[in-house]
Structure 1
Amino acid sequence: MTEGWWDLAPKACETLLKGALAARFYYVFAVDYTRGGEWSGRSLMCTRDSEFTIRGIEDCLARGYDRNGFFEVDTGEQKSWTIQLTDPNRAEAPAKP
């Protein structure tokens, strides 16, 4: 099942899935509509432009959905997991003590 979209503020920390994780592997696709760019991968799944919950990853276009590549996150069977999306083209300022 694929779900989306969540509108997140830059540099914010948000909980998208509440409770203990139910699987080891999760897949992420994100788009920065403000500055441009996206976080994607090779695992193709169905999406659409508005909020969605889509069952199945086959025949996306034939079923009227878009298809995007998601990247895989291996949680190592942890009960909770945090992922930070950063801009790979922008150098971050060094952390201050």
Structure 2
Amino acid sequence: MAGLMLLASSLQAAADLRVCNKTSSTIGLAIGYKMKGEWISEGWWNIDQNKCETVLKGVLVNNRYLIHAIDYDKGGQWNGEAFMCTQDLEFKIKGTHECVARGFERTGFFEIDTAGKQDYTVQLTDQE
């Protein structure tokens, strides 16, 4: 989305995947990750402005995670070309196939490459 940027960093903190909302809006967040060979999508976390949320606790075992976020106040999204299943209410969905046929929405996520780090923080920001 125009007007929004993503910053990612690795911190020397606890081994978790954290997402920080550095915007002036409240955002809704969904994530995607692989567990035992199967993709899982999970959401929603509501993250207030200038707050962080730990979305996966513990040592990160994958290099690739997916994120989709919605700016509740200004509209717009952080999305990408990796499609996963979502729904409007809280969810945890196994698999990425036939989302609509299974009663879900097909939603674009963007990829985060943690470069093998055991902990990672993603910062969603307004573009200046």
TM-score (norm: length of structure 1):
0.88
Q: Deviations over 1:39-82 (max 9, x none)?
A: 00000110000000000000000000001100000001110000
User: Which has the higher Rg, Structure 1 or Structure 2?
Assistant: 1
Q: Choose which of 71, 82, 89 in structure 1 pairs with 2:110.
A: 71
Identity rate, percent: 48
Shift of residue 87 of structure 1? Answer: 2.0
The 4+ residue runs of structure 1 with deviation greater than 3 A are none
RMSD, aligned CA: 0.8
**Ranges in structure 1 where 5+ consecutive residues have no aligned partner:** 92-97
Counterpart code for 2:91: F
More relative contact order in 1 or in 2 (CA 8 Å, sep 6+)?
2
TM-score (norm: length of structure 2):
0.67
Aligned length: 89
**Ranges in structure 2 where 5+ consecutive residues have no aligned partner:** 1-39
